Every structure is written in C-alpha cells, then in structure tokens.
Amino acid sequence: MILTVLAEKGGTGKTMAATNLAGMRAGRGRRVLLIDADRQGSSERWG
Ligand SMILES: Nc1ncnc2c1ncn2[C@@H]1O[C@H](COP(=O)(O)OP(=O)(O)OP(=O)(O)O)[C@@H](O)[C@H]1O
Ligand SMILES: [Mg+2]
C-alpha cells in the first residue's frame, strides 16, 4: 500500500496525518517506510 499526504505548505495537518497513519500501520505489525519530502523534515523527530 502506498499512501501520499500532499498539500501546499501551511499547517493543514500533513505531518500529523502522515505520522499517525504510519504509526497505526506499524502498530498493526506492518513494515512502514515514511518519506518526508519537506525540507523542514518535521517527521524526523517522530518515532
Ligand atoms: N486534527 C488536528 N487537530 C488539532 N490539531 C491539529 C490537527 N492536525 C494538525 N494539528 C496541529 O496543527 C499544526 C500543524 O500540523 P502539521 O505540522 O501536521 O501540518 P503540516 O501540514 O505538516 O504543516 P507544514 O505545511 O508547515 O509542514 C500542528 O501544531 C499540529 O499539532
Ligand atoms: Mg509538515
């Protein structure tokens, strides 16, 4: 499954949605690769 969370820069909740989706899948035992294409890299601080 490939999911994309995409919108213009501006705090609409992309990082929140992407990290929560990744966490939910990982919590169900799925292998997850989270790619953050924003140079701000907020999801790097998520684990
Ligand atoms: N569903 C929600 N309910 C309440 N607060 C939220 C929700 N989604 C995001 N937020 C808050 O809104 C702010 C922006 O969210 P987030 O950083 O995920 O947006 P973003 O789209 O990644 O922003 P940017 O474009 O700046 O990267 C954060 O403070 C986050 O905690
Ligand atoms: Mg973000």
Express each pLDDT in 1-47 by its tens digit. Answer: 999 999 999 999 999 999 999 999 999 999 999 999 999 999 998 87
**Ion ligand 2 contact residues with beta carbon within 5 A:** 15, 42
Q: For the chain, what is the largest distance between any 2 Cα atoms, rounded to a whole number of angstroms?
A: 32
User: From the CB of 20, is ligand 1 less than 6 Å away?
Assistant: no
Question: For residue 33, what are its two tokens?
Answer: 């690769």
Return the number of other C-beta atoms located less than 10 Å from residue 14's C-beta. 19
Predicted local confidence at residue 46, as pLDDT? 81
User: From the CB of 10, is ligand 1 less than 6 Å away?
Assistant: yes
Hey, where are the domains in the chain?
Answer: 14-45
Predicted local confidence at residue 42, as pLDDT? 94
